[in-house]
Amino acid sequence: MNFLCLIFAVLCLIQLNDARSFLASYENQKEAFTESKSTQYLKDKRLDKSTNVKNINNESLEIDLQNESMIKPNFFEGDIVLTDEQWALIRQEIRKQSSSLGNESFSTLPEERTLISNLAQRWTLPIRFFINSDVNATAVLAGIAKWEKETCIPCSSYVGKVGTSFQEISIVNQYYCLALGGVCHEIGHALGFFHEHNRYDRDEYIRLQTQNIKPSSESQFKKEPASLMNDYGLGYDYGSIMHYSADQGSANNKPTLITRDPNYQTTVGQRVDLSFADVKKVNLAYCNSKCSNTLACRNGGYVDPNNCQQCKCPLGLGGSFCETVALSSSGCGKGDLTATNSVQSISATGPKTCNYLITAPPGRRVFFRLTEAREFEVLPNSCPYAFVSVNYSKAFTKNGIHACRTTDFRISTSEHEQIIVIYHGFDNSSRFTMNYRIA
């Protein structure tokens, strides 16, 4: 099907430590995978005779999120395979709600595959899998290893578990899917995720620009009925790896969606890493009974199913109970900061990661302004590996805004008394400065 690669779930379990070596390889090189590492792994596991790993020439790969081959019109939401039973359930639910969905005429929904089911069916762990021929095995193994590292799930592949037969994930043979984030996105569908922008409450967070959407992509922007999803109380996440980019499916290179909070416009569509909420949803769905003990985790943290004696904390937070700022690289300065009535500033330069937790007095909020953000942009409107992130929402479980340039977010005020600031510099030219005070 023109570069379409399929992964089938069968009896083959990769050990956690082996798979993690592929994740480390990806995180070190920050690019699509080459043949050598995957071929060596397959030889070590004596799988090279049955699994063909094609060579990937990175110079020939184009990052083209508008490419038609990335959104398959016959798949639900463009990249999800559903069973006949799932399609029947979806059509039934939509027709039930057609009278209350305004201008979206779902009452005349054709027999097309445009929607998806939820996390209702769980996988039996461990999840066994097989990598089909013509697939870059290293990228797939790294995606599996990432989910293993962050959750209690040993492996991965439809949306949710479907019976005991073979199941498949579609992966386009382009940079988008050969990179770690693209693979993690597709595995997310297998674990039961919707696309985030298809949530029933999405209109509270984004505005669709229907005039810019290609006719062939219109079905990828339909809302899901609330009855078919469970977000475990975590709410809408602009930073989810399951969220479309702002220009996905565009007919004219103009935005197809605009975030209601303009600061998040460059946050949506990231395919670099799983968000904290992505991971927490899966852990609540699959791993909630893994630990018998409880810990007083704070700020949205929860007991880590892979280590029941510690909390798994939102980005930028650390300590025994997610009560303080996470450790930073050398040279970042003090991480725990207090806002006062006077304007103060924080800054960092060079290739390092700095975490800051700024706290206002009880009942007050933090006013902040990004005054400098330089040399972060790697791709148009995206800075996947170097950025400034500010989480100023009430729920630190949601990803903060990502800024690639000084102009990427406006002067803002926190929703409560704390904000988390994360600086991730790529090289010596990266730098940022931010002013803050009590609002």
| Chain position carrying tokens 């902040």 | 368
Measured distance CA(208)–CA(150) in Å, rounded: 32
Q: Which of 258, 227, 260 is nearest to 245 (CA)?
A: 258
224 in catalytic set: no
Known binding residues are 185, 189, 195
Measured distance CA(157)–CA(168) in Å, rounded: 6
| Chain position carrying tokens 């009855």 | 227
Measured distance CA(367)–CA(14) in Å, rounded: 48
Whether 322 contacts 418, CB under 8 Å: no
Known binding residues for Zn(2+) are 185, 189, 195
Catalytic-labelled residue, pool 93, 148, 186, 375: 186
Measured distance CA(40)–CA(47) in Å, rounded: 10
Catalytically active residues are 186
